[in-house]
Structures are given as C-alpha cells and as structure tokens.
Structure 1
Amino acid sequence: MERPTRQEVLRWHAEICAGLADPTRILILYELAEGPRTGTELARRLGLPQSTVARHLRVLASRGLVIPSRKGGVVEYLLADHRVLQALDLMRAVLIDRVHPYRHIAG
C-alpha cells in the first residue's frame, strides 16, 4: 500500500475537523463514548429531534468518526476511534486555559 501524500493527509485532517465543527456532533461523540446508541436513543438523551440527530450522524459517518451497524431493523452507531475524544478533551483544555489563563499557577 502506498504511503499517503502530504496533501491527502491534510485533506483528511480538514474533513475530520469539519465533522467536529458543530456542538451537536461533539455531544453525539461524547454520548457514543459510553457505548453504541441508536439515533432514537441519541435523540432522546440529547433532547433533540430525531431528524436533527440523523443529519449529524450522516456527517459523522461520512467523515469516518462513527460507524453505523445494522442490528435487525435498527441502526446502532459506535465511535470509530476513542482517540478523537482525547483530541476533543485536549482542545477543551486549551479553551479553558484561554478563558482562565492563570488557573494552573499556584498562588
């Protein structure tokens, strides 16, 4: 298998970031960290219309961030890679430091 070019890696990176560029999609990823969920379960847990959740799940699946899996007549979604949550947690820490820049310095 050929090694991806720098441009391919940058494009993939941008696609993943675009998939993360919505607060609802981030919430969905954190919900899926607890285990596989159906769109209906996610809608109920997040208090959102099922159509909204379905739209966001399609975006996440198209970016390879979630994996749909058919179980009988129902589709369950699972997190494709838990390292995405580590990246989100790191970004959150950066943002918190931006709001509270001196919080980690002992007084």
Structure 2
Amino acid sequence: MSKVLEITDNEFEQEVYRTEQPVLVYFWASWCGPCKLVSPSVSWIADTYSDRLKVVKLEVDPNPESVAKCKVEGVPALRLIKDKEIIESREGAIGKQQLQSLVETFLK
C-alpha cells in the first residue's frame, strides 16, 4: 500500500501546513497523461522517505483553493512545503532520479 495520502481543499491546512515534517504535494488530474508517468515515482518517494517526508496528492479540478494557494499553473506539479513555505516548486513531468535528487537536497 502506498504511503501517499490523497487530500482535498478541506484537508490542505491540516495535512500540509500543520505538520512537523516537510510535505511533498503532488498536484495531478485524471485527464493528464504525464501525471500517469509521474505517479509511480511519487509513490516510490512516499514509501522510501516516509520517515522524513510526508507525501500528499491533490486532484486539481475539484480543489481550486489549494491550486491557487500553491500557484499551480500546470500538471503534474510538485510543491515541497516546510513550515508553511514553498521551498521547491516543479511543474511538468519529472523522472524518478530527478525527483529523488530534489527530495534528498532538502532532507539533508
């Protein structure tokens, strides 16, 4: 079972802003082809770094508030958030190695 938590606008504050760990927020859409390529890497990150990183996914269409808060302009999109601040931002498909490097940079 993947350790990626699926959330909505209603849960964003609690699950992303009110947590001690850094949070990787994965914004996706069911109609997005590149999202299907990125999803397995996001799940792998969640499973591999669950002791140091919380990973959540948010579908963009039904959750416009969180999309606006994080200034998401396209999907797939990733936001690494710590202490209510976006510390890293990526839009577009990203490979597993790139994602791992991005995460490890901020978990050291």
Indicate the TM-score class for this superposition, using the shorter chain for normalisation.
under 0.3
Higher-Rg structure is: 1
**TM-score between the two structures when normalised by the length of structure 1:** 0.27
Q: Which structure has more helix as a fraction of its residues? A: 1
**TM-score between the two structures when normalised by the length of structure 2:** 0.27
Q: Which structure has more strand as a fraction of its residues? A: 2
Larger RCO, structures 1/2 (Cα 8 Å, 6+ apart): 2
